[in-house]
Structure 1
């Protein structure tokens, strides 16, 4: 019988450990294939914006006192939003939001400030150091909707002018972007694939492991995603997106490419980063970082009942036609 040297055994054991505290050793869960097990239901809810407020400059993190103040402000707003409405209240101004009613009540109030690697972040973007999108001077107008407007067309001239989100086709990439609600993601994996499904529009990404990109430039809603393991980190590169997935949280063209990294760092947390490249929109690649948090046992994702051709889009276009008709009278 042959025995492995003690040093090798120790190294194999320690490679599966993540020290989360002075007294607790956490063991990375692994699949039967030996890879870190990322499976489960995760969410990324946070009040921290993608882009840092200009006034904060290169301040990457908040102090604990600042975090307490921000989170208390969010709790106060959440309580105010939950209050019953006064029956004799004044109507909102013409064109104004309806306040506590349908305009905002379906949206979540996010209390927690984003915490990544022990820091309370002021933005998801960490590079460039100012936490801002590095737009080219004309970058915001380079996506398919900007080109649509450049031809003199309005967003409500036809369905093609509305975003993929308006049309219930997709909410865009990357799927880990925080949205006003439905910030849940289910990860399923096996030896050859990783699937990530977002609750928003039920976008499902199929990531092929240890393969090359498909030849040619066929564009798809979720892009062509291939991944591999670098140690205990899943690295995913995606390109060949349809240009219609551009949205205000990530303006993009068909030149968009993403490099994502998923690393499970505790029983209930995945460290996630994405580097975004689109030379038609941005002067340089930029990087966002997030923490994905595991949902409690028993929680689940629900159907997102938004589908192409629903009455919402018909109402938007019909309303635009009525405004045009009124203007001619």
Structure 2
């Protein structure tokens, strides 16, 4: 009996020591709070939305995850293959997809992430099907007028003069991403994207800075502060933080309407904040080398709230300058090309509709 009690005490002591060691693995500020300062690479093949056929399945088997990762490796190989120099030109009037010529420019990652040792089917976990909730009727009607990232009806003419659309009137009629001003999907709520997935965090007792590689955008979270007055608005909103144990809870409001979602291939990019809404993020330490990022979005334009989670592993890679604006020669080319097509359209006597 005495030996049994001794063994139990030893096990309890070892368990307490292991828990303390685990806690000691978490970097902390002088005030004792977890210190999230560091660089994080959040790229992952885990999609933002779950594939519909997976239903409410939260996790993938290792075999299913391996298949996704193998498909990605093949996609990279196919994308890097040399183009045939004797291939025929596209048919006249055919849509030419404006994509980079190979896969070298993209870096979405090579693996799916795990939480609690399980591969996830999506970043979104709420609603339970892992997909964005439906838009309200009013939101569906208003979003038909949103600017598009890619206009699919590109037939080599100034078609917009007849339709009344204004996609290429000036830089101001283009979405913020094309103008190299702001990339909403990379900024809040934060999720994996096709490239530029590095995040740099710098923390003090009163602030958390989140530097986002895509568009070189910086969010500043004021800890234990109050929200700015409603007239103050930012593309990424106004963020304040508070501690709940070792978790930093960040609440963001006061978004600018101009940060509205863009239309990509005729479909709205999902989960982008705008206007009267609130985003709640939670940063929790997993260990000294990673944190758990969770978010919940309350948006009056959707029929219900939505949210999700993903791990942020630390990296030794550096976040270099994102000189998008300085190298944005293609936007000038679009505007010049549009003016030329408009001249040809008018010279041919084709109809012109005034923009509304």
TM range (shorter): 0.7 to 0.9
Distance 1:152 1:16 in 2: 65
Distance 1:255 1:14 in 2: 48
State which structure, 1 or 2, has the greater radius of gyration over its C-alpha atoms.
2
Given the alignment, which residue of 337, 340, 348 partners 1:319?
337
Distance 2:308 2:214 in 1: 20
Distance 1:242 1:98 in 2: 29
Aligned pair in 2 of structure 1 residues 317, 16: CA closer, same or farther (>3 Å)?
farther
Q: Does 1:263 align with 2:284?
A: yes
Distance 1:63 1:177 in 2: 22
Q: Does 1:168 align with 2:180?
A: yes
Report if aligned partners of 1:16, 1:27 keep a CA contact under 8 Å in 2: no
Distance 1:33 1:144 in 2: 50
Per-residue CA distance 1:47-86 (angstroms, 9 max, x = gap): 1221112121112111111011111111122223333344
Partner SS, residue 65 of structure 2: helix
Aligned pair in 2 of structure 1 residues 18, 325: CA closer, same or farther (>3 Å)?
farther
**Alignment map for 1:84-99 (pairs within 5 Å):** 84-91=82-89, 94-97=94-97
Contiguous gaps of at least 5 residues in structure 1? 1-9, 20-24
- Name the structure 1 match of 2:119: 120
Q: Does 1:232 align with 2:253?
A: no
Aligned pair in 2 of structure 1 residues 283, 92: CA closer, same or farther (>3 Å)?
same
Partner SS, residue 69 of structure 2: helix
Distance 1:142 1:253 in 2: 13
- Name the structure 2 match of 1:274: 295
Aligned pair in 2 of structure 1 residues 28, 273: CA closer, same or farther (>3 Å)?
same
Partner SS, residue 236 of structure 1: strand
Q: How much does 1:277 deviate? A: 1.4
Report if aligned partners of 2:147, 2:175 keep a CA contact under 8 Å in 1: no
Per-residue CA distance 1:255-304 (angstroms, 9 max, x = gap): 1311000011022221001111110x2111100211111113xx211110
Distance 2:141 2:295 in 1: 23
Partner SS, residue 300 of structure 1: coil
**Alignment map for 1:66-215 (pairs within 5 Å):** 66-91=64-89, 94-97=94-97, 102=101, 104-138=103-137, 139-140=139-140, 142=142, 146=146, 153-172=165-184, 173-174=187-188, 176-215=190-229
Partner SS, residue 227 of structure 1: strand
Distance 2:87 2:254 in 1: 51
Aligned-CA RMSD value = 2.9
Report if aligned partners of 1:18, 1:265 keep a CA contact under 8 Å in 2: no
Aligned residues: 308
Q: How much does 1:220 deviate? A: 1.2
Aligned pair in 2 of structure 1 residues 144, 219: CA closer, same or farther (>3 Å)?
farther
Q: How much does 1:104 deviate? A: 4.6
Report if aligned partners of 2:207, 2:220 keep a CA contact under 8 Å in 1: yes
Q: Runs of 4+ in structure 1 displaced over 6 angstroms?
A: 13-16
Aligned pair in 2 of structure 1 residues 40, 28: CA closer, same or farther (>3 Å)?
same
Report if aligned partners of 2:189, 2:272 keep a CA contact under 8 Å in 1: no
Contiguous gaps of at least 5 residues in structure 2? 1-12, 149-162, 262-268, 349-356
Aligned pair in 2 of structure 1 residues 176, 128: CA closer, same or farther (>3 Å)?
same
Given the alignment, which residue of 289, 298, 314 partners 2:309?
289
Q: TM-score, normalised by structure 2?
A: 0.77
Distance 2:42 2:55 in 1: 24
